[in-house]
Amino acid sequence: MKRTIKVCYFSILREEAGCSDEQVETHADTPANLYAELLERHSFTLPQSDLRVAVNEVFQPWDTSLEDNDEVVFIPPVSGG
């Protein structure tokens, strides 16, 4: 089943994707599968294990089921101080 997902990027992911958000047409059924697809598309340097994921503004496990029109945010580690 094809889904339309809004994906938001922060920090290094935003730089590597060249945008802060995008609408993605995908067959990915979980955030893990979606990130694998986007990692290949944008050549992201961060592995999934370094990220957290939120679906519709709530932190979720990587195996959460995605629905059409969900919003997914991939959150890289925060540094600074």
**Which regions of the chain are under pLDDT 50?**
81
pTM over 0.95: no
- Nearest-CA neighbor of 14 among 50, 45, 57? 45
The whole-angstrom distance between residue 48's C-alpha and the CA centroid of its chain comes to: 9
Give the model's pLDDT for residue 74: 96
Q: What pLDDT was estimated at residue 79?
A: 59
**Contact status, residue 70 vs residue 3, Cβ threshold 8 Å:** yes
Residue 39: the pLDDT is: 95
Length of the chain as a residue count:
81
Q: Please tell me the predicted confidence (pLDDT) of residue 56.
A: 98
Q: Is 32:7 a contact under the CB 8 Å cutoff? A: no
What is the pLDDT at residue 1?
Answer: 86
| pLDDT at site 77 | 86
